[in-house]
Amino acid sequence: MSDTGLIGPNAILQLLPVLDRAGGPALRGQLLQAADVTVPDGTTMIDEAPAARLHQQLRRALPDRAAALLSEAGTGTADYILAHRIPRAAQILLKALPAPLAARLLAKAIDRHAWTFAGSGGFTVISPTCFDICDNPVVRGELADRPICDWHAAVFARLYQVLVHGDAVCRETACCAQGARACRFELTRGLS
């Protein structure tokens, strides 16, 4: 667990163009203002609280559209990671390996960089295709009747689709917002 409560700026930055496409600058401005969020410059890690507030405000303001919008932002975050954070040689290697071996290596890399998306939450690799985030700061304090960590699930799904197997799907099977001990993400299809 991180004591600093920092998270990567893409938790906010990749949501902004999604909001612009969904409702224009007015929607983006309304949500940023309601969540009391200043847009980060993208050069450093940010406090996890503003990112959580923006995700939570989106879920409150647009309950019927939030899951799809947060999923789109998660895919954008993964695309950013693929373009800027995972070396091309590593990507070529992962794509060439059998899916089970590629999944193991990718899970180890995700674990090493978990502080960038789990903030002060505790990240655990359960298996190469299953992860937990205990006390997930993005949903901390929320109550829901279904799993709501659509941004995280989309990040994991896209990374596995591109680097491990094109049919990979990520489902959140338990969520802190439902009272679970941890948000659990399970990847399936083409990964065994």
Gap between the Cα atoms of 15 and 19, Å rounded: 6
- 68-111, pLDDT tens digit by residue? 999 999 999 999 999 999 999 999 999 999 999 999 999 999 99
- 160-170, pLDDT tens digit by residue? 999 999 999 99
- State how far the alpha carbon of 49 is from the alpha carbons of 7, 138, 157, in Å: 9, 8, 24
Domains in the chain (CATH in brackets) are 6-188 (3.90.1520.10)
Q: What percent of the chain has pLDDT over 70?
A: 96
Phi/psi class of residue 130: alpha, beta or left (left: φ > 0; alpha: ψ in -120 to 50)? beta
- State how far the alpha carbon of 179 is from the alpha carbons of 38, 68, 141, in Å: 30, 23, 10
**Rounded to two decimals, what is the model's pTM?**
0.95
The amino acid that residue 105 corresponds to is L
